[in-house]
Structure 1
Amino acid sequence: MFGSGPLTVLGGVEGIAFVKTKFTNYTDDWPDIEFHFISGSPASDGGRQIRKVHGLSEKVWQQMFKPISFRDSWSVYPMLLRPKSRGYITLRSASPFDKPYITHNYLTDPQDVKVMIEGIKIALALAETKAFKKFGSRFYTRPMPGCEYATPWTDEYWECLARSYTSTIYHPVGTCKMGPYWDPEAVVDPELKVYGISGLRVADASIMPTLVSGNTNAPVIMIGEMVSDMIKKYWAGKKR
């Protein structure tokens, strides 16, 4: 049986691909771009929800996406893997009820921008293949508002596009870094115990010193299972 309707779409991402750009260090065993293939665009729902999730301004919506409202479309989003840019979190006050300051620093490292531009180019080349052309697929040529200063389809334009329309993919890590006691940035030790505080461990994506290439769900499950074994071993030793 084949169903239809919104609940038959697996979260809106029907395909993924990992690729290496020309900037990849080929001595490393991981790609630097992940593609998300989406059967739609921010205009697919006529501006009801997707534009809000993506944080699109009224100007960007009206000029770029509203003209193709409810039209059949597909999108490919290049995801920057293992970025070099680093953000940080600082406390707003001594009160635990005050939200912290989060400084993302996306695309502050020039290498990240170069990789993103190359990822966009690979995505465009992919969209020009026979496999997509046989479905009548064609590039949407309306320029991104705010990038009028750049010649369309140049590296300067793609950089503007990336900086104007880029978002997180919800997988931040590293704010409670695991590391040796002599590392000034380390928050937890190899058993995920917080330095300087008795009886407290952290067991989530924040303990990863660096970001993995894929989604963080499976690694976090592994972290949780490992620390649960550590805790059981600790209390088993106490009982003896």
Structure 2
Amino acid sequence: MVQQAEAARRAPLSRDRVLRAAVALADETGIEALSMRRLAQELGVVPMALYKHVANKEELLDGMVDAVVGAIDRPAPGADWHGAVRGRILSARRALLGHPWAARVIRSRSGPTPAVLAYLDSVIGMFRTGGFSVDLTHHAMHALGSRVLGFTQELFDDPPAPGPQPGAEAVAAMAARYPHVAELATAAAHDGDSVVGRGCDDQFEFEFALDVLLDGFERLRRQGWTSAGRPPSGPGTATVPGASC
């Protein structure tokens, strides 16, 4: 095993090897601990050797995003648009959950990387070949938001630290003031490990929302929905046929 590790460290340096090592290091230590110096140590090279393959840390992060997104499964040939989009998004979710730092890095980029663009292009293509107009596809992508890449904002935020549990009197007072919140909060057995909400199953909640959206998109497609007939967005705003946003 030691010999294998040494052989790996002596292997010729390449961009692919640098990116794979960076992804593994971020998985192991967290993205905050990743630095060019630390990565060079991991690879057994001097830091300057890395700059032959990545110009700077920002380019390194872009490459790491592309390495993760490039591993997302492609849809099975011949799948209908609904199954293809759903499968692609759930595969993206698995890929990003396997690299907890990836969603945060994706959000930090100034623009989509090549692999992210290719992924988005494929999802848009699934809608278009499934009979969606450009107009409806545009709004469907807006509705999906970050969910198209398998994550939601709250999913990757750190859950708040649990505070002291309120007493029965405080719980009763809160229930009297906010009865619907209390009803919803006590509807399920709570699990402190969930980050969507205590008591929520993250995967179930993600798939529930995804299925609601996809079913809604299909209903609009069948209706031949267009944005041209939507109401104005505010006082004094005219409806412009064909406007995209």
User: What TM-score comes out, normalization by structure 1 length?
Assistant: 0.25
User: What TM-score comes out, normalization by structure 2 length?
Assistant: 0.24
Which one has the bigger strand percentage?
Answer: 1
Whose radius of gyration is greater, 1 or 2?
2
Which one has the bigger helix percentage?
Answer: 2
- Larger relative contact order (Cα-Cα within 8 Å, sequence gap ≥ 6): 2
